[in-house]
Structure 1
Amino acid sequence: MKHQLKAFISSGLLLFSGWSYAQEMAMGTVYHDQNNNGKRDKKEVGLPNVSVSNGVEVVLTDANGKYQLPVGDDNIIFVIKPSGYISALDNNNLPQSYYIHKPKGSPENLTYKGVAPTGALPKSIDFGLQKTDESDQFRILVFGDPQAYTEQELAFFNRGIVDEVEGIKGISFGISLGDLVGDNLDLHHGYKKSISRIGVPWYNVIGNHDMNFNVTADSLSDETFETNFGPANYAFNYGKVHFIVLDDILYPNPRTGKGYLGGFRKDQLDFVENDLKTVPKDHLIVLAFHIPLEHNNGDVFRAEDRQRLFDLLKDYPNTLSLSAHTHLQNQLFYTKENGWHQAKPHHEYNAGTTSGDWYSGQLDERGVPTTTMRDGTPNGYAFIDFDNNNYNIRYQVAGKDSKHQINVFHAKVVGQGKTSRAAIYANFFMGHHGNKVEYSVDGGEWKVMHPTNATDPAYLASLYPWDNGDTLLPGRRPSDAVISRHLWWAALPATLPVGQHEIRIRATDDYGNTYETSSSYRVDPTKNYPDPPQK
């Protein structure tokens, strides 16, 4: 294995010799920072076989921890954290595993501050890593779209989400899947302070609302993100899981020159290809980006980019993608019909968001909007448990008990024996129509509910006070409902005896976890109304 690694490094260095003379060579050492002082002391040894990248090429350090990589005038050199080590963290718990090389800095016409000129390339760019106890079994915290547009919405994020998880135990790290803020990039600083309160290392993905819009090239759309968070494309290891974080927003849209399109540049996919050469085939590959890979005839996500990504993953049987962006929650599966090369479909968890429906809805007792998403999913966050190369995802509704996984909607009263269209609806937040959802009435037999592609009637009912009331409500009207992909229904029994009846719902997710909830309705005697008077 060591001979193969040396050959890989040598071949990489030979490849670099073909670069133009305008390229400089960045070099340095990855070392064991034993005393955690951020500088290499005499007795601190270099770490071999650690991946380092310039954003495209990936090399492994030699036996003494040394590396070298070509750079131009706009590169970020970063170390790919190996398992069993951790990078230094700043005051906001953000990993400091990179060096930005922009001799002239970012373009001067940016609305929001970019990277200041970094000057000449240092003689040595060193990265210190600290050893840490790192189990193959670990849990992470996942946020979709915090997306505060104002200081008030940042306060909603703090009161509704951060206060709930501040100081949480048993979490190895967290990650936000883009749209950290809503266009006002000055709010990145407040967002970082909010995240720092949680008390764990935190990784960040760029979203379409974290970009610099007054640029003419996609490679410049992340300048402010870079100065605030570092590279938009990077990777790291934890246990037997390899995480790859990517910017999947092409801006300006290469087809129209306006707006954005989901996709990747060639250099980003080249980075993925080079990075994967260093990852064992039996490890779990977790990709994190903002816009989901799902597309309709390529009008949302560039089809050829998704296909190349799938091609690169064809020899990795254990994979997972994480995305957000939609302000819905969905389980997406890609098969051979979608260009996936393996019999087992590729799973993408399109996560529900911390901002929910953009902080809309009536205010609760904390002064925080209810902000349920348009598919009926309450706002919240996710926990992912990893065990070697396996994973288990659980959604946590903000402000609720962890058992709150299903919302039930039905009529509160029906007439006995009366023909009725009344139905029971169950919204299983983490579900998809391949899951089993059942109901039981008064402890009777469990019956299967039917999956349906429909709007959630409970969400529709939440809009009525806004549309039918005669007084203004505090907060902002929620968005209109959309089709929910995790909704089931069954007819509401009306032939039962007069009185109160209990409904129980149970649902089983992809990981074998079964959740239950209950509700009740009343059967009343049917009233006989007189016939209308005859003319």
Structure 2
Amino acid sequence: MIGHRRDKRMTGDAAPLLAALAVALAVAPAPTPAQDEQTAQIPSIACRRIDGVVYWDHNANGQRDEGEAGIGGVRVVANFRTATTDAEGRYDLASDKPILVVSLGFPSGTWPTTSWFQRPQGASVRGVDFGLRKDEQSLPLVFVQMTDTHGNLAWAGQTIPAELTDLSPQPKFYVVTGDLGGGNLTVRKPDDLRRSFSAIAEDFKNFPAPVFMVPGNHETVGYGSAGKIEINAEDLRHPWFGAGAWEWFVCPSHWSFSCAGVRFIAFGWGEYVDGGWRTPSETILRWIDEERLAAGPSTHSVLLAHDPGRGDIVESKGLSLGLFGHTHTEGLYFSPGKEKPNLGEKTLTSGMTQPPRDTRTGARKYAQDGRPTGYRVVVVEADRIDTFYKPLGEPHAILLNEPRRFQAITAPESFMARGQIFDPLRQVKDVEVLVDGRRVETKVTPRRFWSDFEAQVATTEMDSGFATITLKATWPDGAFLVTEPYLILTGREGKHTAAAAARLEATADIQGQPARVLVNGVAIGEVPASQGKVSLEIPAPALKRLNEVRLEAPSSKSALKDVTLLYDGQPYRDQHRISTWGYQPNLTRDSRMFFDLKHPGPSVQWRVQKAP
């Protein structure tokens, strides 16, 4: 959806588009006082065919005047079906499903003067026209991704543009990749739907730049937070089921357009097909193929969606980049419990776009992986696409991106440390990388608004265990640093003599046959098929500085849950993977845990500190 702040500053790209938004939104019913759910007014959606003209709106007045010619070759989308205008600018689009909203896939070098989407009324709608003007566009193209705002849309609109005033060029537009609200919405509570989606639409009307967005699972009616809402045949026939309410109240759930030679393709959560949710469905995958091919072979292409679980389509379909949300983690996508990114180098998730501090305590807020809340700045150059995850409310933004916080580094000789420093005014004078306080030679590569750094860290004199990596940068107002601990497996054991035995405590859920627990390859006990608390002693001679714990179990469903190692009065938590989406301190036969007796864990969260 595109919205705007109504003040004298609205000019250029946003103004004509945003003025037209009021017309598009007016079609959707306004919020009404609470009604009995059985009597709430539900729309009757009958439109299955729509036609119109896409034309040059030379005077940008939002209506077709005499002499304004049609434009051929422009794509118009509804229900994952696409019609292309003929030489006179005419299109005709039919669908076997009701059409709630139709969107304009405007090409590079143009920008809408009307709303880029419209809601048809009636069974067969004629004359749904779209206006375009010529627009100067060139690389670099800058845009901003927000995601998982969960009720903070208006706040983001007031805050993020103000943080980016030093960028030149300014962001052309903003995108939101889902989960703008929360909860478990169902068609059986239509007034809840009306209130929730009308609030989302209202928040975006005041955004100070063009905004395009898609729904997440929380805006997919009938799915909700976990996809466990019971669905019957009557639900499936409801016009607001799935993405229906989003499209009726807010904007299209899927869309595409081109800008400065870059193709943008976006879809929401998915579709309910053959008794289950498909994210994405085969229909969506075919539509992505059509839109990608329409962009041409030499154009950058960016996929925008909520769920990164099928981020493999970014690589398989030859797209340049995929930007997602959903996992409340930031960076290359890791499936729950995985140690390495499993969907390639082009699939990025972008944390959570929410206020940086708790309003009551003032404490910094974090996503599930310990990253701060933030948003992603994307710069498309002719030969590359660069991105920076900007922590909200942090004037000295420093990121350690590689290794990941929860990734064990198997490095008998060396590993690479990589990160970024946000520096649009080029004020940073010195960058240092230190490992356990030891300075490492660092290569710094300036980008348009930030600098990338990398350092090769030698490990030949390091023992297996946790080590701290510090990135330090100097601004005119002082030196600032970020320090994070990492588990480094060098294959060398440090000298360590345990003063006493330790205990491994957990809640057992052992299926079928008994399971054995191994510490550093030595069995310390057997857990029978059972459910309940268990406590196993680890003899002092079996302990090392870094202790690896495994579970040998015939059943893949067997697990030790909420595992803690107790040593010398101190509880130790698994330090192998920290706060990753969907990860709990549970031990299965397919996983392992690490406990460093010199580092209790869990790891500290991201924090910028002023250097002493």
Category of TM-score, reference length = shorter chain: 0.5 to 0.7
Residues 363-387 of structure 1: per-residue CA shift (max 9 Å, x gap): 355xxx6321221101111100111
Q: Pick the aligned partner of 1:223 from 244, 258, 261.
A: 244
Give runs of aligned pairs for residues 36-75 of structure 1, distance below 5 A: 36-72=60-96, 74-75=98-99
Superposed displacement of residue 451, structure 1:
10
Q: Secondary structure at the match of 1:436?
A: strand
Q: Pick the aligned partner of 2:417 from 436, 458, 466.
A: 436
Give runs of aligned pairs for residues 467-478 of structure 1, distance below 5 A: none
Taking the aligned partners of 2:174 and 2:77, their CA distance within structure 1 comes to 23
Taking the aligned partners of 1:338 and 1:429, their CA distance within structure 2 comes to 13
Taking the aligned partners of 1:45 and 1:233, their CA distance within structure 2 comes to 28
Superposed displacement of residue 29, structure 1:
1.2
Query: CA distance change for structure 1 residues 34 and 292 in 2, over 3 Å: closer, same or farther?
Result: same
Q: Pick the aligned partner of 2:118 from 83, 99, 102.
A: 99
Bigger Cα displacement from structure 2, 233-242 vs 275-284: 275-284
Taking the aligned partners of 1:382 and 1:45, their CA distance within structure 2 comes to 39
Q: Does 1:79 align with 2:104?
A: yes
Give runs of aligned pairs for residues 316-355 of structure 1, distance below 5 A: 316=318, 318-332=319-333, 345=344, 347-355=346-354
Q: Secondary structure at the match of 1:272?
A: helix
Q: Secondary structure at the match of 1:83?
A: coil
Conserved in 1, the CA contact under 8 Å of 2:72 and 2:87?
Answer: yes
| Amino acid corresponding to residue 236 of structure 1 in structure 2 | F
Give runs of aligned pairs for residues 152-171 of structure 1, distance below 5 A: 154=152, 158-159=154-155, 162-166=158-162, 168-169=164-165, 170-171=170-171
Conserved in 2, the CA contact under 8 Å of 1:161 and 1:398?
Answer: no
Q: Secondary structure at the match of 2:289?
A: helix
| Amino acid corresponding to residue 386 of structure 1 in structure 2 | V
1:121 matched to which residue of 2?
Answer: 124
2:177 matched to which residue of 1?
Answer: 177
Superposed displacement of residue 54, structure 1:
3.3
1:132 matched to which residue of 2?
Answer: 135
Query: CA distance change for structure 1 residues 167 and 436 in 2, over 3 Å: closer, same or farther?
Result: closer
Conserved in 2, the CA contact under 8 Å of 1:286 and 1:321?
Answer: yes
2:147 matched to which residue of 1?
Answer: 144
1:206 matched to which residue of 2?
Answer: 215
Identity in percent: 19
Q: Secondary structure at the match of 2:332?
A: strand
Give runs of aligned pairs for residues 469-488 of structure 1, distance below 5 A: 482-483=579-580
Superposed displacement of residue 193, structure 1:
4.4
Bigger Cα displacement from structure 2, 206-215 vs 443-452: 443-452
Q: Secondary structure at the match of 1:278?
A: helix
Q: How many positions carry a matched residue from both structures?
A: 377
Superposed displacement of residue 284, structure 1:
1.4
Superposed displacement of residue 347, structure 1:
1.1
Residues 155-192 of structure 1: per-residue CA shift (max 9 Å, x gap): xx655773342495501000111001113652444444
Superposed displacement of residue 27, structure 1:
2.5
Q: Secondary structure at the match of 1:209?
A: helix
Residues 108-130 of structure 1: per-residue CA shift (max 9 Å, x gap): xxxxxxxxxx2242322211112
Taking the aligned partners of 1:309 and 1:378, their CA distance within structure 2 comes to 26
Residues 40-96 of structure 1: per-residue CA shift (max 9 Å, x gap): 11111111221223333334322221222223451243221111111246xxxxxx2
Taking the aligned partners of 2:147 and 2:47, their CA distance within structure 1 comes to 38
Give 5+ residue unaligned stretches, structure 1: 1-21, 90-95, 102-117, 149-153, 256-260, 295-305, 408-425, 460-479, 493-515, 521-535
Query: CA distance change for structure 1 residues 194 and 44 in 2, over 3 Å: closer, same or farther?
Result: same
Give runs of aligned pairs for residues 225-240 of structure 1, distance below 5 A: 225-240=246-261
Taking the aligned partners of 1:483 and 1:381, their CA distance within structure 2 comes to 19
Query: CA distance change for structure 1 residues 483 and 338 in 2, over 3 Å: closer, same or farther?
Result: closer
1:18 matched to which residue of 2?
Answer: none
Superposed displacement of residue 276, structure 1:
2.6
Q: Pick the aligned partner of 1:363 from 360, 363, 381.
A: 360
Taking the aligned partners of 1:226 and 1:159, their CA distance within structure 2 comes to 23
Superposed displacement of residue 353, structure 1:
0.7
Q: Does 1:382 align with 2:382?
A: no
Query: CA distance change for structure 1 residues 66 and 232 in 2, over 3 Å: closer, same or farther?
Result: same
Residues 299-345 of structure 1: per-residue CA shift (max 9 Å, x gap): xxxxxxx777765x1xx3x52111111111131389xx9998xxxx4
Give me the TM-score of the superposition, normalised by structure 2.
0.52
1:509 matched to which residue of 2?
Answer: none
| Amino acid corresponding to residue 214 of structure 2 in structure 1 | V
Q: Secondary structure at the match of 1:401?
A: coil
Q: Secondary structure at the match of 2:212?
A: strand
| Amino acid corresponding to residue 206 of structure 1 in structure 2 | P
Superposed displacement of residue 252, structure 1:
8.4
Q: Does 1:243 align with 2:264?
A: yes
| Amino acid corresponding to residue 579 of structure 2 in structure 1 | V
Conserved in 2, the CA contact under 8 Å of 1:372 and 1:378?
Answer: yes
Conserved in 1, the CA contact under 8 Å of 2:264 and 2:301?
Answer: yes
Q: Secondary structure at the match of 1:350?
A: strand
Superposed displacement of residue 389, structure 1:
5.4
| Amino acid corresponding to residue 65 of structure 1 in structure 2 | G
Query: CA distance change for structure 1 residues 197 and 308 in 2, over 3 Å: closer, same or farther?
Result: closer
Q: Secondary structure at the match of 1:373?
A: coil
Cα RMSD for the two superposed structures: 4.6
Query: CA distance change for structure 1 residues 198 and 97 in 2, over 3 Å: closer, same or farther?
Result: closer
Give 5+ residue unaligned stretches, structure 2: 1-45, 184-191, 223-230, 410-414, 419-432, 442-456, 469-481, 486-576, 583-595, 599-607
Conserved in 2, the CA contact under 8 Å of 1:248 and 1:263?
Answer: yes
Give runs of aligned pairs for residues 270-289 of structure 1, distance below 5 A: 270-289=286-305
2:189 matched to which residue of 1?
Answer: none
Taking the aligned partners of 2:465 and 2:254, their CA distance within structure 1 comes to 38
Residues 258-315 of structure 1: per-residue CA shift (max 9 Å, x gap): xxx5612232222222223321111112111111125xxxxxxxxxxx777765x1xx
Query: CA distance change for structure 1 residues 458 and 187 in 2, over 3 Å: closer, same or farther?
Result: farther
